[in-house]
Amino acid sequence: MGVLRVQVGSFADPANAQTLVERLRGAYPGSKIVGVDLPDGHRYRVYAGQFQTEAAAEQAAAHLKRALDTDPFIVRDDAVGGTTGNP
């Protein structure tokens, strides 16, 4: 079973994703960028942290909602290794 992450953004421009993930890494170790191909083009999703419990992920999501004025959501990351923070 993987970890939980909080998705806080999805960007067409990898520089925007990189700026956000660099901002997050101090408070949320394990933050990363994952590139995905969608019908409307390539996007760079930004995930904050890595959490073992739903309660911890929900607490982080609530904080990030206030701090970033965004609507984050929690996802399970079952990937082993996965993409690093560099697009």
Query: What is the tens place of the pLDDT at every residue in 13-24?
Result: 999 999 999 999
Phi and psi at 50, nearest 5°, equal -150, 125
Query: What is the tens place of the pLDDT at every residue in 34-50?
Result: 999 999 999 999 999 99
Phi and psi at 32, nearest 5°, equal -155, 170
* This prediction's pTM: 0.86
- Which tokens sit at 36? 């995905």
The C-alpha atoms of residue 46 and residue 61 are separated, in whole angstroms, by: 13
Please name each of the domains of the chain with its CATH number.
Answer: 3-77 (3.30.70.1070)
